Amino acid sequence: MSARSLGTLDPESRDGHSGATDPSAPSGGDRRRESMVRRLIRRPVGVVAGVWLLLVIVGAVFAPLLAPYDPENQDLSVVLSGPTGTHLLGTDPLGRDVLSQLLYGARPTLLGVLCALVTWLILGTTLGLIGGYMGGIADSAIGRIVDLLLSLPPLVILLVVFAVFPGSLYVPMALLGVIASAGLVRVVRSVTLTVREELYIRAARVAGLSHLRIIVRHVFPRISSTLIVQASLFAGVALVIESGLAFLGFGVVLPNPSWGGVIQEASQVLPRSAWLLVPSGGAVGLTVVAFVLLGNAVRDVSTADWAPSQLSRRTRRSAGPAIPSEGSSDTPPRMPSPDAVLSVEELSVETIGPNSVQVVTDVSFTVNRGETVAVLGESGCGKTVTTLAVLGLLPSGMRRSAGRVMLGETDLTAGPSALESVRGRRVGYVAQEPMLSLDPTYTVGSQIAEAVRRHHGLSRRDARLRAVELLAAVNIREPETTARRYTHQLSGGMLQRCVIALALSGDPELLIADEPTTALDVTVQAEILGLLRRIQKERGMAMILVTHDWGVVASVADRAVVMYAGEIVEEAPVSALVSDPRHPYARALIASHPALASRGERLPAIGGSVPPAGLWTRTACRFAPRCIEASEECRRGPVPLTMVDAERLARCVHASPSPVEMPQ
């Protein structure tokens, strides 16, 4: 059997377009030119709410010009007159014009709401983003602060502050923002925990962007819609609280007008005249409703660029800490290669918790300069977890329990700074789901340019030009147009090319591609594989290809590492592995490839499935329960990874090791 017989995909590069886009779809530039105001105008409810709030603000700002009377001017001849041509909204018990009082009273009311809202937003957003994105000690400390704030009785605290600062409005309202920010912290933290698990956040970290830039540019825009809604709701609550406090006689000192003060006067004369409660209570009620409706409308139009109705929003797990520890391995010692770009030594990964489970066990392999190493196996065998451990991007429930990862002379397990210094610059990453690898709130060109500026320090203009060059380098026919598009405007093949361009933005020496052809049709798969092969040859990069497809392995890879149940079961050059696999699992995988099936015959399959990590055992061969060649010797004890010949390792008692001298 030859490797070529499994290469069902043409590895040669093609110049064809990877997918057509809808020509009627507006480009990213066209969408940006369409102002938010125009989109908001198309929403009647939002327009009405916005007009009302604008009238209230204009009335408060220009009250001296718009008010027909001085708000303190009394005319006892027209007490509680009701609406008239002279007094449009009537008069109060002292004959003062109600419209003038509402116009002047809107000033302290809106300023108090603004003071509380700004304080609430700054504290709640900042602490929520830090806690949700960073996790760890920062998240724990912020959680304690939130618990403390939630335990405080806000009304009692505000009354105490009013007693200390009599006549002051802004200090109590700012304190209200501080106390109420605890709820926003929890909301923002919850949304951030979800957003940080998106694959494009992981891709941004691999691209080498700083935590601050990722938070500001990629996390914050995704939570902005939540903030808009929450802010509109809190503004309404703050308005009600401010008016309620003024109703009780706190804050604005009489005879200075306020909306709460007008309501208080209306309550005293309710049996004599119910009308006075209509304009005062109506002003508060309509403004609260307007805040909420406008917030919903602004949220909808602000996400229109990147969130079409059919846009998928699946979540992914986020990066977790890598904790160095010691471990042992049964892997034979290897001679260090002077051409090794990456060396993985006895790498083990386990879950975090009281009942820790090992999901990757003593994995060791090297990747030389210009070489493609395929890591393959069924789903659940630990392929992706191994590569994520190399990148320091393990899911939040896992950690590295043993082993070392060397990128040249750089120890990637030395700490976060070592990883941050190589991500994007020396190591590029191509994920299996390109739609989730790019931020939908920005055009693809802006994201590539962002990475280029990070790694090469170019100006914005030069970075944009370089982004277009990278898009052209990955065989995109119209790179300038594509650079202005959002992710939902591109096909799967186009998106995968954009992700590859992003991975190449730092000119890496190692490229890790995790199932780069998943969910693509056969023609596009061939184009992507040919593209990767061409780019590798041109740049002399090393590449790790994570896959389960032997056709992909035979087309692209030089050497293959077969994994089963979290450990390596065979490693050999692809040609040798395809023609003469020594481990039963490798033989079964090859035998089940559709390219080898004969017409009319049933396709061979491996019985059973990969067991969950918690059921793996170190006391016997992990493949034995599914292996047709298993014997009592296979179940007697752990099976070590042994040298079978000069270029092959296998973990099987039936592998027939040759008398090859072990390298020292």
The verdict on 391 and 493 lying in the same domain is: yes
Asked which of 302, 327, 359 is the last residue of a domain, the reply is 302
Query: Is residue 660 domain-resident?
Result: no
Q: For residue 426, which of 437, 418, 434 has the smallest C-alpha distance?
A: 418
The verdict on 236 and 370 lying in the same domain is: no
The verdict on 222 and 115 lying in the same domain is: yes
The verdict on 263 and 406 lying in the same domain is: no
The verdict on 295 and 345 lying in the same domain is: no
Tens of pLDDT, residues 211-255:
888 888 888 888 888 888 889 889 999 999 888 888 877 777 667
The verdict on 271 and 392 lying in the same domain is: no
Tens of pLDDT, residues 474-511:
888 899 999 999 888 888 888 888 988 998 898 899 99
CB atoms within 10 A of CB 131: 25
Peptide bond into 255 cis (omega under 30): yes
Can you give the pTM of this predicted structure? Answer: 0.63
The residue segments making up the domain with residue 455 are 340-596+603-650
What is the four-CA torsion angle of 450, 455, 461, 467, rounded to 10 degrees?
-70
CB atoms within 10 A of CB 21: 16
Q: Is 80 exceeded by the pLDDT of residue 332?
A: no
Confidence at residue 338, expressed as pLDDT on a 0 to 100 scale = 65
Asked which of 272, 302, 332 is the last residue of a domain, the reply is 302
Q: For the domain that residue 466 is a member of, what is the CATH number?
A: 3.40.50.300
The verdict on 353 and 485 lying in the same domain is: yes
The verdict on 291 and 390 lying in the same domain is: no
Tens of pLDDT, residues 116-162:
999 999 999 999 999 998 888 888 999 999 998 888 888 788 878 87
Beta strand extents in 369-446 (DSSP E only) = 372-376, 398-407, 410-411, 427-430
Query: Is residue 310 domain-resident?
Result: no
Asked which of 302, 331, 348 is the last residue of a domain, the reply is 302
Asked if 346 contacts 405 with a C-beta cutoff of 8 angstroms, the reply is no
Q: For the domain that residue 296 is a member of, what is the CATH number?
A: 1.10.3720.10
Query: Is residue 142 domain-resident?
Result: yes
The verdict on 560 and 616 lying in the same domain is: yes
Quote the number of domains for the chain.
2
Report the C-alpha gap between 635 and 616 in whole angstroms. Answer: 13
The verdict on 267 and 399 lying in the same domain is: no
Query: Is residue 307 domain-resident?
Result: no
The verdict on 350 and 239 lying in the same domain is: no
Query: Is residue 610 domain-resident?
Result: yes
Query: Is residue 326 domain-resident?
Result: no
User: Which residues touch 390 (CB under 8 Å, ≥6 apart)?
Assistant: 342, 344, 347, 405, 412, 512, 544
CB atoms within 10 A of CB 632: 7
Q: Is 60 exceeded by the pLDDT of residue 415?
A: yes
DSSP string, 439-470: -TTS-HHHHHHHHHHHHH---HHHHHHHHHHH
Query: Is residue 26 domain-resident?
Result: no
The verdict on 533 and 480 lying in the same domain is: yes
Query: Is residue 107 domain-resident?
Result: yes
Strand order in the sheet with 340-351: 358-368, 340-351, 398-407, 410-411
Confidence at residue 334, expressed as pLDDT on a 0 to 100 scale = 54
